[in-house]
Structure 1
Amino acid sequence: MFLVALSFAYFSKTLSGSYMKSTITQLERRFDIPSYLIGVIDGSFEIGNLLVIAFVSYFGAKLHRPKIIAVGCLLMSLGTFIIALPHFISGRYEVETSVRSSNSTNNLTICLASSPSCENESKLSMWIYVLLGNILRGVGETPIQPLGISYIDDHALEDNAAFYIGIKSSPFLLFGYLLGSLCAKIYVDIGFVNMESIRISPGDARWVGAWWLGYLIAGLITLVSAVPFWFLPKSLPVPEGQLAKCSPERTSFIKESPVMDHKYHADEQASFLRLAKDFMPTLRSLLGNPVYILYLCVTVIQFNSLIGMVTYKPKYIEQHYGQSASKANFLMGVINIPAVALGMFSGGVLMKKLKLSIMGAAKFALGTSLLGYFLSMFFFALGCENAKVAGITVPYGRMGSLSLKNSTLFDECNKHCMCSETEWDPVCGEDGLTYVSPCLAGCRMSDGPGMKTVFQQCSCVAVGNLTASVGQCIHRESCQQVFPYFLALSVITSFIISLGGTPGYMLLIRCIRPQLKSLALGFHTLTTRTLAGIPAPIYFGAIIDTACLKWSHKKCGGKGACRIYNTTAYRYPSLHFDFWNQENDLESTLRINSLAVDSKP
């Protein structure tokens, strides 16, 4: 029954956690913030953990573990509701556009730039609520893993413990991304706007889905998950003779007890003052374990790459392969995450079937990690060319070269218009080029509502009827050919790397004394989140920001969210820093693209 309750708690926490990852681009666009700031918001969950995890892991092991987990679930639920709060207290989402309403025949003003007023822009940054809610969610999640896993290991047969630990989270990792895919299809202000008047599609860089809806659903489920833990006992009776003994191999490095029982039952009463007094000696004893410290160092390095990948992989699929946020989340949910879940579950099954010792588990985890990272190197070969955007990645008419000193968004073909170069309202010309706005495409007239709008007399479109349609051009055949191979390699590497997850956990909890299991798990989580969970999303986001070619601009000034990236710099991190120093200089962009093309086999 505890395993069922813990599995449901894991379901609720992974639902909200993976849903947070799936809303990265939605939050960027809704609050008009760059990727590094999204990294700060994502890392705030770890900050919440850090505030209490050491004390929860130590004191919780001596107290009523199920009830502490229940309190954690309640806090998680409250934090998830707070994340959704900005949608209900802020105004409607205003789509960035260069086309203004007018009383003319075509009802649109294209050639006259008009800066939007900043009077109605909120002085309070709404993303602060998301940050605070995520911190509280991190505080509430703290007891679930260390207390839940230690409770299982203390009351399960030794051969079954790894199998149970593999079960508790394996099936639930995909639901957050599937929920994210569903909500991303729904417009953020659905029910309050006329959808026929909306001139953007889910694949547009300005589209914002109903990100708030998933947090309400996740919050309700988390609230329900707290109920069962109030009725579970502090400790379970275990029949005599079923408590397994640790082998000398497992405990030979622990001086205090060469052979001991690895089960721990928290039935004895102890005062809070005594527990506090014993905390520092207990922590010193734990940190004196060389196997534990070595495992800690390895996982910090590994988690830095894994957290950065999981956080921004949907965004990478969107920007690099031209997929919508909904499709990127759906693919993560039905392809990538099940591979991770199957790998974790299979690792627990293999450890049970093969009866792996501690040394065997260590070798297994090391081997799968090395193989997975080696295969990941092939991602560098699965790249796409940049989207063809006039004045940003290619010159107007595909003739000549881009100017280094002056803005290249202006050309002879659009000089008759007073265009704004800060707005992003892309249109696709008949010539196959994307233009930053109808104005910069030289368009004079428009016809049709919403997504059916056709812009006419576009002087920069040098072919056909001089027309342009709403949205970016999607003709990137090479990307569509490469994309299935990217997905296949992603599944294989995710499965292989995650195979070592459960054996690694068993190595962690079996290499220390039973009284230290909860503290060891808690300190492991504390360290990995301090050195990986918090910084990885931030510096990954900062590096991604350096590859931005066109930023949005807030009403009252200042840089907002990125609209289009240099996909070559996005794929080759070593080129980011040169790109950063050039401050998105377009000549530097062409030089990077040329370097990448020349270096291909």
Structure 2
Amino acid sequence: MEVDGSPDRFTEPRPMEYSGRNQKTPQAKCCSPTLKIFIGLLAFCYFTKSLTGAYTKSTITQIERRFEISSSTVGIINGSFEMGNLLVITVVSYFGAKFHRPKIIATGVLLMAIGTLLMALPHFIMGRYKYDTAAAHTNDADNITVSTICSSDTQNTVQQLVSGCLKGEAESSPTWVIVLFGNILRGIGEASIGPLGMSFIDDYARPENSAFYIGCLHTLGVIGPIFGYSLGSLCGSLYVDILNQDSVTITPQDSRWIGAWWLGYVVSGLLTLFAALPLWFLPRALPENPQSTKLDHPSNQHKHTLSITEMAKDFGASLKRLLTNGIYLLYLANSVFIFNAYTILVTYTPKYLEQQFGQSASNTNFLIGGISVPAVALGIFLSGWIMKRFKLSLLGSTKLMFFTSVISLVCTIPLFALSCENIDVAGVTVPYQGSIEVQNSSRHLLTSCNADCGCSDFQWDPVCGQNGVTYISPCHAGCNSTQGAGQNMIFHGCTCIPSWELTSGNSSAVLGQCSRESSCTKMLYIYLALQSLAFFVYCLGTTPFFVVSFRIVDPALKSLSIGIFLLVLRVFGGIPASIYFGALIDSTCLKWGQKKCGGSGACRIYDIETFRYIYLGLVSSLRAFSYVLLWMVITQIKRKVQNENQMSKNTELQTVCAM
């Protein structure tokens, strides 16, 4: 019987066909030991790839500060994974399904391991991380950085003589490109895991078990981020130069703090390398599906090698059939909007929590990995169980997706009310005494109390005044004497501090920004609880999200449909979302840092109120529009089912009349 070539054809879960002999053999069981081994190994690959992906998200702010780049540039680095993926995803998903899929997957995982290890390389070729601070004076032959505070004996007190720039040291070169290239390799390697892995399981598992296996696969994959964010928390609490912890005068809450971001890439790279090796020893085909086994039998292998040209010709026809499937295209459009929102959430949630609630990168990653990610894992697991338990049809699967999506969106509405105010930073968020308003930080950083101190506009060495206001440096606070050393240093005689509220007395300041209000911590936990609930409800529709993508097309186009599906999501979702939202974040920056060799560096402080409305508003809008498209998909599927049922009844009626 020929397969219907109608471009709008979609399929329900199909019954497995067994010969009479095979029905009496163990092949009729749910799966053979070999399939179980494949699922286990593929799950470990999902674990390592999701661990590395989560760790990459957790290091976004660390990479931004280490290389002194903007959020939009970090967005390009993050999107480079999708760029590498789309380079090969279509070819791998179509041609790879016709060859030795386990070995192709193993090759991809090996590339991922190489790319991950490559991302840690810049740390070993760059010099030690140095930051300007009044609590430490550095004076060596190659790099002289002297930061002093305002006093009657010194004028033009900020002196930076960085001879390393003239010598072309690694720190002055764009070494972040190595991180970008490593992430591209990761994307190229990952292209084979999803399409080939899911199609391999769907080919050799019984139809009623396929969705459950895919759900378990993604559940195990979601466990990876728990370890990824935990690893990010651990590495974030360690100073970037691990052997120089004692000389550090800043805390993890400081915007200049950089954790040991490179260490996690070494760990995850080695794990990924270990995951690739066992896949090389799996067979090309499994005995569960006699038809597939026959096609993949060694006696017929020459047909595959001789038909590569025919495969290439058939690719165009297959692509045309796929892209003329109206339901598939509508589902693609819905998924693009969802993936834009997903990319923003996954990439910038750590940064949002850091800025909104004043948390360190280490604490933020720990909370995400301990609260939000387990909720996601549980939701995905129950999603696969629901699909198996209730044997949902294609229409039932899409309805489940719609209702879980809408409910999760409702759960996020209270998040708009959970926020903290910007800390008071003189000349940035609040004016010095005598200033009417703050419109441009570079014009209001200097005032009468510090005009003669020679302070640099780009200096960022914050101190907290006894009036509760943060000053971007002791120099800008007008301090003229110090007491103590290191993190315990206290600055006295700060002429700008009394000009705020005090009228007399010896005003002082301590290193570091002033702390946020105590209610910020409470709001953070409420925020994470509501967000985790929303994630859990939404993930109840995750398994249908993947299953529907290859149930609405002809079985022969299953692997290609997944490949095109992932390709489109990356081109119109994963890549642009991380870049344009990074640019939107940059637009909320109130105080930019400066590279030692000149040029704008990483942002030091953001307008968190604008940040909040951009972050939550854009994500909610993208999700809401996608649900409108999903409802249109449900309507089209329902209409298609009704038409096919009517045609079936007419055929039965004609048969009865003919008798």
**Cα deviation 1:290-322 (Å, max 9, x = unaligned):** 222121111001110111111000000001100
Aligned position for 1:593: none
Contact 2:255 2:604 in 1 (8 A): yes
Match of 2:364 in 1: 328
Partner AA of 2:101 in structure 1: R
Which residue of structure 2 lines up, in the alignment, with residue 131 of structure 1?
Answer: 180
Q: CA deviation at 1:180?
A: 0.6
Q: What are the superposed Cα offsets for residues 540-572 of structure 1, whole Å, 9 maximum, x if unpaired?
A: 100000000000011222111000000111012
Partner of 1:323, secondary structure, is coil
Q: What is the deviation of 1:342?
A: 1.2
Q: Is the 8 A contact 2:133 2:461 kept in 1?
A: yes
Q: Matched residues in 2 for 1:308 and 1:265: separation?
A: 43
Partner of 1:160: 209
Secondary structure of the corresponding residue to residue 469 of structure 1? strand
Picking from 395, 412, 427, the partner of 2:431 is 395
| More displaced stretch, 4-13 vs 510-519 | 510-519
Partner of 1:257: none
Aligned Cα root-mean-square deviation (Å): 2.3
Partner of 2:160: 116
Contact 2:378 2:536 in 1 (8 A): yes
- 2:229 matched to which residue of 1? 177
Query: What are the Cα deviations for residues 431-451 of structure 1, in whole angstroms up to 9, with x where unaligned?
Result: 111110011011112222221
| Alignment partner of 1:515 is 2:556 | yes
Q: Give me the whole-angstrom Cα distance separating, in 2, the residues matched to 1:426 and 1:293.
A: 53
Residues 257-336 of structure 1 aligned to structure 2 (within 5 Å): 266-267=296-297, 268=300, 269-270=303-304, 271=306, 272-336=308-372
Equivalence for 1:551: 592
Q: Deviations over 1:23-57 (max 9, x none)?
A: 00000000000000000000000010111110000
Q: How many residues end up aligned between the 2 structures? A: 551
Deviations 1:115-143 (A, max 9, x none): 42343134420101001111011001110
Check if 1:231 corresponds to 2:298: no
Name the amino acid aligned to 1:382: L
Q: Which runs of 5+ in 2 are unaligned?
A: 1-36, 140-145, 151-155, 619-659
**1:532 partnered with 2:532:** no
1:146 to 195, 198, 211: 195
| Structure 2 residue 53 is the aligned partner of structure 1 residue 17 | yes
Alignment-derived partner of residue 581 in structure 1: none
Query: Counterpart of 1:428 in 2: which secondary structure?
Result: strand
2:153 is matched with: none
What code does the residue aligned with 2:287 have? P
Aligned to 1:56: 92
Q: Give aligned-pair identity as a percent.
A: 50
Q: Is the 8 A contact 2:135 2:489 kept in 1?
A: no
Q: Quick one: distance in 1 between partners of 2:482 and 2:147?
A: 7
**SS class of match (1:117):** strand
Please name the residue that 1:594 is paired with: none
Measure the CA separation in 2 of the matches of 1:23 and 1:102: 28
What amino acid is aligned across from residue 503 of structure 1 in structure 2? P
Q: Deviations over 1:556-591 (max 9, x none)?
A: 2211100000011101229999xxxxxxxxxxxxxx
Letter of the 2:148 counterpart: T
Match of 2:527 in 1: 486
Task: Give the TM-score, by structure 1 length.
Answer: 0.88
Output the CA distance in 1 between the equivalents of 2:559 and 2:148.
65
* Distance in 1 (alpha carbons) for counterparts of 2:195 and 2:602: 37
Q: Select which of 375, 382, 395 maps to 2:411.
A: 375
Bigger mean CA deviation after superposition, 14-23 or 449-458:
449-458
Aligned residues of 1:49 and 1:141 also touching (Cα < 8 A): yes
* Structure 1 segments of 4+ aligned residues over 4 angstroms from their partners: 263-268, 403-406, 574-577
Following superposition of structure 1 onto structure 2, how do residues 447-526 of structure 1 map, counting pairs within 5 Å? 447-462=483-498, 463=502, 465-526=506-567
2:160 aligned counterpart, secondary structure: coil
Distance 1:119 1:234 in 2: 59
Instruction: Give the direction of change, closer, same or farther, for the CA distance of 1:446–1:264 in structure 2 (3 Å limit).
Output: farther
Question: Could you list the runs of 5+ residues in structure 1 that have no partner in the other structure?
Answer: 244-260, 578-601
Q: Report the AA paired with residue 193 of structure 2.
A: I
Structure 1 contact 100–110 (Cα < 8 Å) conserved: no
Indicate whether 1:197 and 2:247 are aligned.
Answer: yes
**Structure 1 residues 162 and 197, CA gap change in structure 2 (3 angstroms):** same
In 2, are the aligned partners of 1:54 and 1:526 still within 8 Å (CA)? yes
- Which whole-Å CA distance do the structure 1 matches of 2:70 and 2:439 have between them? 25
Contact 1:28/1:35 (8 A) holds in 2: yes
Could you tell me which amino acid in structure 2 is paired with residue 307 of structure 1?
A: T
Task: Normalising by structure 2, report the TM-score.
Answer: 0.80
Q: Which has the larger radius of gyration?
A: 2
